[in-house]
Amino acid sequence: LLRPLLTRYGERRLLTVGTIAQTLAMAGLTIFRSPVIVGIGMMPFAFGRSMTDPSLQALTTRFAGPQERGEALGIFSAMQSLGFIIGPVWGGAVFEWLGPRWVYGADAILMAGVVILTLVLARMALPELSVQAAAGSIQHRATEATDGEPI
């Protein structure tokens, strides 16, 4: 599902739309009271998340050279895991201090900052992923796999 959208609109647009969808969902969840409406309100969040994660991974690989991509994705995954640890701790503290609705409200406020950051970063120049660079990387890996003899 994401590949056609990615091809048509690009990583930056999907990242921006996904971040905005998540922010609006969190803001809505602060207001909604019905469990059914809350369940429906999570749909834009899930949709936005499904766009942001692959887009962020794709953009991460664009900023790393062929030799550093594994390290860059490892750091990306480590930071994401750190967020999975800190998020519930932060949410629990907000729940205790301000009440259950503000777990979503605090997230909406943080996500609004992320939307601003995303809009700023979306205007940055990206390194081009050229076909020649990708082909060189494939040839380099193939040469390493055959103990230095070209294929």
Residue 146 predicted with pLDDT over 60:
no
Residue 9 predicted with pLDDT over 70:
yes
CA–CA gap between residue 132 and residue 30 (Å, rounded): 49
Q: Given this model, what pLDDT does residue 130 score?
A: 46
Residue 145 predicted with pLDDT over 80:
no
Q: Could you report the per-residue pLDDT of 74-121, keeping only the tens digit for each?
A: 999 999 999 999 999 999 999 999 988 888 889 899 999 999 988 888
Give CA separation, 11 vs 7, 20, 88, 119, in Å: 8, 14, 28, 12
Half-sphere exposure of residue 90: CA atoms within 13 angstroms, side-chain side: 13
Contact 30, 53 (CB under 8 A): no
Q: Is residue 128 very low, low, confident or very high in pLDDT (cuts 50, 70, 90)?
A: low
Helix ranges (DSSP H) in the chain: 2-9, 11-31, 35-62, 69-98, 101-121, 131-145
Q: Which pTM value belongs to this model?
A: 0.71
Q: 């739309």: which residue's tokens?
A: 17
Structure tokens at 30: 């602060």
